[in-house]
Chains A and B, each alone.
Chain A
Amino acid sequence: MVFFTQNIFLSHNMRKYILKTSLFISPFILFVIIGVCMPTTPRASLSLLMAETSKNTLLQNTPLPRIIFVGGSNLSFGLNSQEIKDSLGLNPINTSIQASIGIKYMMDNTMKYIRKGDIVVLVPEYQLYYNSLNQGSKELMRTVFDVNFYNIRNLNIIQFINILPLLPEYAFTKFKPSEYHPKVDEDDIYAVNSFNQYGDAFRHWTKKDQHDKIVPIQLKNEFNPRVIDYLIFQNKKLEKKGAVLLISYPCFQESSYLSSLERIEKVEKELKKSGLNIIGTPERYKMADTLMFNTPYHTNKTGVDRRTKRVIEDIREFLTSTNHLYK
């Protein structure tokens, strides 16, 4: 009898609790849903993430023979594709935007545009080997909710769960007045229009670098072997499509390189073991601090030229040694 009474008491209290909690939470959820569903704000429309649309158009329309660069901002800020075109005779497409979008999204998005004969050069930032493949980030979330909602197809369920906590903050930005009156800076290096016809970020080429203000970074976390498994899997998919996957190393500020040497060597060792096509070495892409622009991965124009030259040499060496079609 006591037990029965207790259960009745429990259900009444619990009903009240659940009802009141739901009532409290529902306006908040509604607010978030409305915010997420509102169109992209004018400020977000200027973001460099929006360049994905034009880069996808390049992937769709650029004729063969093509060389497609995939990676984070080490590539978008560190490559002169015109030089690549002139030296290798291939049509370059620089699809890279931001490392925090993650290797998985970068590759999954590119994969659908791959044609037979394409050469795909993947250059992930070092930390991507030390992060989860399914990591959620603001950039990844905005790539879906600001750039193109259909990009959600490139996300798996864990990536989606990982970006969920970022949605409330994102929704709130839709209600900020400043989002609707952005200051337009034609010379902004992080804007949708800071890319040239190949997809290279080029506005910083003519600007004074801030290499003396760059704080070196140190790679952290445990190496994630699933990244290598994923690359092997992507390589097989590309082979099936008749394309080639080459993996290279990002340009990296020397101070950061030295403080992360052990982890960089681990990446090199694991990639060598994987049997994938690797071009260059981390050492070749270590850049003196004076060649950096504003982060340990972004090079200034001199750095861009040096890096591009090495990329060309490494690709040429690969093409020669493998008797590739476009030698």
Chain B
Amino acid sequence: MLFNSIDFAIFLPIVFILYWFVTNKSLKLQNALLLVASYYFYACWDWRFLFLLMFSTFLDYFTGLKMQQAQTVNNKKFWFWLSIIVNLGFLGLFKYYNFFAESFTEFMAGFGFKINPWTINVILPVGISFYTFHGLSYVIDIYKNRIKAEKDFIDYAVFVSFFPLLVAGPIERATHLLPQIKKERIFNYAQAVDGMRQILWGLFKKIVIADNCAEYANIIFNNSNDYSGSSLLLGALFFTFQIYGDFSGYSDIAIGTARLFGIDLLRNFAYPYFSRDIAEFWRRWHISLSSWFRDYLYIPLGGSKGGTWMKVRNTFIIFIVSGFWHGANWTFIIWGALNALYFLPLLLTNKNRTHLETVAQGQLLPNFRELLGMTVTFILTVFAWIFFRAIDLTHALQFIQGIFKANLFSMPYVIEESTGLPIFPKLLLLIVGLFMTIEWIGREDQFAIQKFGLNWKRPLRYAFYYLIIISIFTYAGSNQQFIYFQF
């Protein structure tokens, strides 16, 4: 069930009404409803994997309790490692097994050995990377005595499976979400209206920006040999906006939806394309994943407390693992490594925490230095996205080679599939330009239109919202799956 589907448009009001009008007298009932709704939501993707989700939930719930009850350290360790191994085992089996098997075959073939490994032909359970990470954070936090194990299974299951975040995050922490699930919730008008605004902006990002950019990005990436350098660059730019619109749009819809139920989820994006360096970019892009890796991988590895060698090693580990988290493909690993390379100079010169505030705070425009920083960071990001989007490494390298052809400075074009004619997509570029302008204006808020126009007169403000709705219906790109569902 996609957020941008009629199914969800029916599902959401039904759950909302049942939640606030039927089960509102009991927190237990409300949570039970959320769990049933979440399982139904998940079953709409593929009901068979619902059992995997239930098993994973039960495993972490059970091992969490066992860890808390453990009398000895060894006993506690046993339950901890059982949970970690089973969780990562499932993730590895479904997501990475074939990658390792095939890579091993290719490696052995390089030495003249021909082997036929056993590969599994299964589809990836949607959201497995997200709910596995939910469970892992919970188990690690109990092991480290940061939290106590949750005794109520339904409350715990809602924490793992709450439908807005189930399939593509934000990756929540037990310390943040569980207390909200356990607390009685009162309908808050301002929170709900804010949530609606965030859903609207998320839909705009997904349907108008991401889906339209996806059409052209797909055409150019799928036929990269036929395009000029400038057109390939345009394709990379379209993908840059596609992935931002797609994933941050999803996150906005998820966070907005959760707010309708009185629950605040972690922020996932904070205007990453306005970052002045890569370190700032990574504090603003997929925040819930970056902070997860920081807290559960980077810091346990020693973080940046050790010597230079340890800093370099840990940086590469965290970025490569982050790349690998996205999928079993060398392109993601190179994407991660490339970002580590971008990041290292800042880390080694202790400049990785220079830009902690929003760019040009309280100003209309950035100064020259900020503009330069943003431009360089954006170019580096676009370059890295080429690896992320390419089918394989050869494709990525050919694509990059193609950009630097003599015709890099020619007029870019896209061949429309319906007519076979080359066009310059100026309308879409104009819409993307307007979109980024609104994002710039709202960059100090949680999402761009949170306060945009709030001091306008109501008819004007409503006209602005209607304009967004009209553009969603009139400039809707062809329906594309959310990119992060595949992770």
Contact = CB atoms under 8 A, between A and B. Distances in A.
A269 interface: no
Given A10-B186, A24-B462, A214-B420, 10 more contacts: A7-B25, A16-B189, A17-B192, A17-B193, A28-B466, A162-B6, A165-B5, A165-B6, A169-B473, A172-B474
A244 B295 CA distance: 69
A14 interface: yes
A7 B26 CA distance: 12
A10 B462 contact: no
A138 to B, nearest CB: 11
Given A168-B473, A169-B476, A215-B417, A17 B6 contact: no
A213 B420 contact: yes
Contacts of A9: 186
A320 interface: no
21 contacts: A6-B186, A10-B20, A10-B24, A10-B186, A10-B187, A13-B189, A14-B187, A16-B189, A20-B193, A24-B462, A27-B466, A161-B6, A162-B6, A164-B6, A165-B6, A168-B473, A169-B476, A172-B474, A213-B415, A213-B420, A294-B420
Interface string B433-467: 00000000000000000000000000000100110
Contacts of B470: 172
A125 to B, nearest CB: 17
A323 interface: no
Contacts of A172: 470, 473-474
A10 B262 CA distance: 12
B469 interface: yes
Interface in B406-423: 415, 417, 420
A221 B462 CA distance: 41
Contacts of A161: 6
A322 interface: no
B187 A13 contact: yes
Contacts of B466: 27-28
Interface in A248-262: none
Contacts of A164: 6
B189 A169 contact: no
A13 B190 CA distance: 9
A197 interface: no
A60 interface: no
B188 interface: yes
Interface residues of A, number: 26
A264 to B, nearest CB: 20
Nearest to A24: B462
Interface residues of B, number: 26
A61 interface: no
A169 B469 CA distance: 10
B465 A24 contact: yes
A21 interface: yes
B136 interface: no
B160 interface: no
Contacts of B25: 3, 7
The 10 closest A-B pairs by CB, nearest first: A213-B420, A168-B473, A13-B189, A169-B473, A165-B6, A10-B187, A13-B187, A172-B474, A17-B189, A14-B187
Interface in A261-289: none
A27 B196 CA distance: 17
Main secondary structure of the interface of A (DSSP, over half): helix
Nearest to A12: B189
Nearest to B10: A161
A210 interface: yes
Contacts, number: 47
Contacts of A213: 415, 420
Contacts of B474: 169, 172
Q: Which of B6, B188, B476 is packed against the most chain A CB atoms within 10 Å?
A: B6
Q: Which of B20, B24, B417, B473 is packed against the most chain A CB atoms within 10 Å?
A: B473
Contacts of A162: 6
B259 to A, nearest CB: 12
Nearest to A161: B6
B184 to A, nearest CB: 8
Nearest to A170: B473
Nearest to B417: A215
A28 B192 CA distance: 20
Nearest to B479: A165
B420 to A, nearest CB: 3
Interface in A186-234: 210, 213-215
Interface in B178-212: 184, 186-189, 192-193, 196
A16 B190 CA distance: 11
A28 B471 CA distance: 13
B417 A14 contact: no
A28 B469 contact: yes
Contact of B196 (A21, A169, A215): A21
Given A24-B462, A165-B6, A213-B420, A13 B188 contact: yes
Contacts of B193: 17, 20
A28 B472 CA distance: 13
A21 B20 CA distance: 16
Contacts of A3: 25
Nearest to A20: B193
Nearest to B415: A213
A214 B415 CA distance: 11
A177 B188 CA distance: 43
B92 to A, nearest CB: 26
A159 to B, nearest CB: 12
Interface string A1-38: 00100110110011011001100100110000000000
Contacts of A21: 196
A33 B37 CA distance: 31
Contacts of A28: 466, 469
Nearest to A25: B469
A229 B9 CA distance: 30
A162 B25 CA distance: 35
Contacts of B186: 6, 9-10
Interface string B116-141: 00000000000000000000000000
Q: Which of A7, A161, A215 is packed against the most chain B CB atoms within 10 Å?
A: A215
Nearest to A215: B417
Contacts of B184: 6
Contact of B187 (A17, A27, A210, A215): A17
A192 B61 CA distance: 64
Interface in B149-198: 184, 186-189, 192-193, 196
Contact of A14 (B20, B420, B473, B476): B20
Contact of B420 (A7, A10, A210): A210
A24 B466 CA distance: 9
A299 to B, nearest CB: 17
A7 B465 CA distance: 31
B169 to A, nearest CB: 25
Nearest to A172: B474
